[in-house]
């Protein structure tokens, strides 16, 4: 049984001298650190992205290999691929989008819950690629806002991984389209 005069010890992660986030008071007991709720929420969002693949061409094959064990995307918190827009928060548009397919893509985007992020994968999704024709969308940013562009024809899984990490960094710094719009709303007093 513990002595009632003794202070309860909290589990300490890291600790002094090891780069941990816990500091100690003069008597040796752990100190509590405070932070903004938004920072904790952004850290949780950054490490729990659930992608929705919108694959229409050869870039979708590269996305499939990106999700395989070789790249171990689960270490970034994104191993849960959802094929329901209501359960995902990251739309990865991989491949050519035609004018007939654009309204479907917009509907999927609108069904996703906020905050939602978009990665445009491949030169066809980014700019229309070499399809300079009336039926191909010349960049999906004509219809939905894009957070990260991953160029290439097709882009390698490593390039998509780099784009994914870039999106995580943007979420952590508060630089995504959603976070900028939210900050503007707060500044306007809404």
Q: How many helices (H) and strands (E) does the chain have?
A: 6, 4
Query: DSSP for 83-141?
Result: SSGGG-SEEEEES--BTTTHHHHHHHHHHSPSS-EEEEESHHHHH-TT--STTB-S-GG
Q: What is the pLDDT of residues 95-122, one digit of tens each?
A: 999 999 999 999 999 999 888 999 999 9
Q: Specify if 85 maps to a domain.
A: yes
Q: Specify if 129 maps to a domain.
A: yes
Q: What is the pLDDT of residues 52-74, one digit of tens each?
A: 999 988 888 888 888 888 888 88
Q: Quote the number of domains for the chain.
A: 1
Query: Which of these, 108, 109, 106, 92, lies nearest to 137 by C-alpha position?
Result: 106
How far apart CA 132 and CA 83 sit, in angstroms, is 30
Q: Specify if 134 maps to a domain.
A: yes
Q: Specify if 119 maps to a domain.
A: yes
Q: Specify if 27 maps to a domain.
A: no
**Least confident span in 22-31, 80-89, 109-118, 145-154:** 22-31
Q: What is the pLDDT of residues 20-51, one digit of tens each?
A: 455 667 777 777 667 778 788 888 888 888 99
Q: Specify if 17 maps to a domain.
A: no
Per-chain mean pLDDT for the chain: 82
Give strand pairing partners of 52.
Answer: 91
pLDDT score of 19: 41
Whichever domain contains 116, its CATH number is: 3.40.50.12280
pTM over 0.85: no
> What are the tokens at 133?
């024709």
Q: Specify if 20 maps to a domain.
A: no
Domain range enclosing 109: 49-183
How far apart CA 169 and CA 173 sit, in angstroms, is 6
Q: Specify if 139 maps to a domain.
A: yes
């Amino acid at each position: 049984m513990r002595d009632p005069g003794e202070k309860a010890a909290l589990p300490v992660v890291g600790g002094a001298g090891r780069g941990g986030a816990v500091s100690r008071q003069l008597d040796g007991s752990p100190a509590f650190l405070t932070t903004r709720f938004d920072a904790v929420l952004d850290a949780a969002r950054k490490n729990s992205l659930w992608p929705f693949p919108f694959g229409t061409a050869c870039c979708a094959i590269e996305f499939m290999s990106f999700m395989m064990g070789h790249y171990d995307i689960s270490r970034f918190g994104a191993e849960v691929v959802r094929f329901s827009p209501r359960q995902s928060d990251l739309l990865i548009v991989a491949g050519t989008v035609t004018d007939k397919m654009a309204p479907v893509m917009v509907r999927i985007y609108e069904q996703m819950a906020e905050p939602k992020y978009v990665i445009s994968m491949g030169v066809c999704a980014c700019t229309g690629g070499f399809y300079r024709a009336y039926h191909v969308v010349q960049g999906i940013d004509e219809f939905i806002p894009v957070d990260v562009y991953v160029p290439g024809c097709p882009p390698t899984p490593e390039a998509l991984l780099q784009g994914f990490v870039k999106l995580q960094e943007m979420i952590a710094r508060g630089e995504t389209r959603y976070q900028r719009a939210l900050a503007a709303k707060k500044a306007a007093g809404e």
